[in-house]
Amino acid sequence: MTKAVLIAGTNSGVGKTTVSMGMMAALVKRGLQVQPYKVGPDYIDPSYHTAICKRASRNLDTFMMGAEGVKREVVRTSGESDISVIEGVMGLFDGMDSTEVASSAHVAKSLDVPVILVLNVHGMSRSAAAIVKGYSEFDPDVKVAGVILNKVGSPRHTKMIRDCIPDIPIVGALPRNKEISVPSRHLGLHMAFECEFDTTELACFIEENIDLDTIIEMAREPNTNVYEEKEIPETDLKIGVAMDKAFCFYYAAMFDEFRQNGAEVVFFSPMAGELPDVDGMYFGGGYPELYPCELETSATTKSLKDLSADGMPIYGECGGLQYLSTSYEIDNVVYKMADIFPARTVLTKKLQALGYTEGYAHGAFIKGPVKGHEFHYSVTYCDDDARLTFEMKRGKGIKDGWDGIEEHNSLACYQHAHPVSFPVKAFVDMCREYKRS
């Protein structure tokens, strides 16, 4: 393992994403191999991390993965890198409901790594000391090792705040810079592949205003259990993964688990009408609502119903659910979709669900406890004979506290799942059985 540091904010919007990405870019510019991580169930920030570091960014989520799962993921993926940079989520101590679970603090405690706290000091001076004191003493097990001041007004402003905070090092002071930003939309930032993405200016900005050498010295090796890498078995089947602008929300760990269970991962584009020769398919979330015409006319779309009826295992999450339904209504225009499930989806202007999910699956596809995350601006209306199989204890799902619609060997849900809390082996075994049939 390599040494690690976690970049957290006092709250959302203080600049921790800019700082995290800028640090990654600056460290890469120095010639270091950087392993990026993101706290929480985010897909978008990791796409930038991956583009910057040329290493797949990994999610660390103590709700979906548990503390031990977080430890195993870091041990498994941080090898052969020079330093790990973990981007936090929301404010340092903000977790699920009023608990620490799924917070940046919980991840920092689980790994026993130092925290660099990002603080927006626009419009304040000595008050910054009170904030830092509160964050550094709130939980003694969370080690706030340094502070980065964002949006400082002048060198004098920086000195005033430094003089007020003698006990914790100020390792950076970023002047206001409106040129460094990433455009946003209803689900957050644009994915990295959708933007002109040059980090040269950002890397230089961070290098000039943050003491990277001190942060590297502050980083420490995570305190984890020994984890033995599993031997990858011989590949005996293929799973197609939809990957294009419409379907791009995936955890890299899911692909690893497919491979660990003997499956070759084959990426394909439904928008381009591709249909690979595979034994099962996985449609992640993304932005199908932005490309309904391309999906409606796609040869892939027109072929999926027959494949499902033939028994091919097909799994879809959120955007995958919308695509695998009968139709998708967007701005009063109805587009035909794959028609695997007896359900239709309508895009709404209002956020319909956001947060962690938990429940119990009663279906043939998945049985047992399920955990995940949902975030969508759509409503899916099912026919009366639709089979819903996830009984939700937490979360909204599709209808009346239920998620997970099944048809043949196909399943789709609003819930996004992590492989630690998803029965990957059962899905791969279904694909293997289908191949043999």
Q: Residues with catalytic annotation? A: 318
H or E stretch including 28?
helix 16-29
**β-pair partners for 379:** 346
- Determine the Cα–Cα distance for residues 152 and 149; give it in Å rounded to an integer: 7
| CB atoms closer than 10 angstroms to residue 198 | 9
Residue 45 DSSP SS3: helix
Whether residue 156 contacts residue 121, with contact meaning beta carbons closer than 8 Å, is answered with no
Residue 25 DSSP SS3: helix
State phi, psi for 369 to the nearest 5 degrees: -65, 145
Q: Going edge to edge, which strands form the sheet with 115-120?
A: 58-60, 34-39, 83-91, 4-9, 115-120, 144-152, 170-175
Amino acid at 186: H
Amino acid at 343: A
H or E stretch including 416?
none
H or E stretch including 69?
helix 66-77
* Cα–Cα nearest to 372, from 383, 360, 384: 360
* Cα–Cα nearest to 43, from 26, 56, 53, 24: 56
- Taking each continuous run of H as one helix and of E as one strand, the counts in the chain are 13, 24
Residues 6 or more apart whose Cβ sits within 8 Å of residue 30: 212
> How distant, in Å, are the alpha carbons of 60, 123, 381 from that of 285?
19, 39, 18
Long-range contacts at 304-309 (CB < 8 A, ≥ 24 apart) = 304/338, 304/339, 304/340, 305/338, 305/339, 305/340, 307/281, 308/340, 308/407, 308/408, 308/409, 308/410, 309/408
